[in-house]
Amino acid sequence: MIVCVPSRGPTVESQMDDRFGRAAFFAFFNTDSGEVHVAENPHAGGSGGVGPQAVQFLVQNGVTTLIAPRLGGNAEEALVASKIQVIMQNPDVTVVQAFQTWKDNAGISA
């Protein structure tokens, strides 16, 4: 499975972003292969519709689980339809800390 964490910076040591649609970067953790990469959010500067566009970006990257800060209405609607599992996380942690917390609790649904 592929777990996504919004990030303020280009590495997993960066702080988790407190936004979803306008997050600066997205970190992707592949729990099967162990592969990790951080990509720039292509729609971060958009004036509108960034929530659905971010969901589309996640779907294109095969995301199954999103560790999320607060979510806007359109983003929430798109996420529910996409069947991506959403785990709420206070963004006062680093990206890798957020992933680790989820991993440690894996199997407990939020």
Question: How far is 62 from 109, CA to CA, in rounded Å?
Answer: 20
Interface residue with other proteins, options 24, 30, 46, 85 (CB under 8 A): 46
Per-residue b/e over 23-62, b at no fewer than 16 CB within 10 Å?
bbbbbbbeeeeeeeebeebebbeeeeebbbbbbebbeeee
Distance, CA of 77 to CA of 9 (rounded, Å): 26
Interacting span for other proteins (CB under 8 A) from 23-31, 50-58, 91-99, 101-109: 50-58
27 or 75: CB nearest other proteins: 75
When binding is defined by CB under 8 A, the residue of 33, 48, 107, 109 that contacts other proteins is 48
The answer to whether the beta carbons of residues 61 and 4 sit under 8 Å apart is yes
Site for other proteins in 2-31 (CB under 8 A): none
Query: Which amino acid does the sequence have at 58?
Result: L
* CB distance 5 to 27 below 8 Å: yes
100 is an interface residue for other proteins by CB under 8 A? no
Nearer to other proteins, 30 or 74 (CB): 74
56 binds other proteins (CB under 8 A): yes
Residues forming contacts to other proteins in the complex (CB under 8 A) are 43, 46, 48-53, 55-56, 59-60, 74, 77-78, 81-82
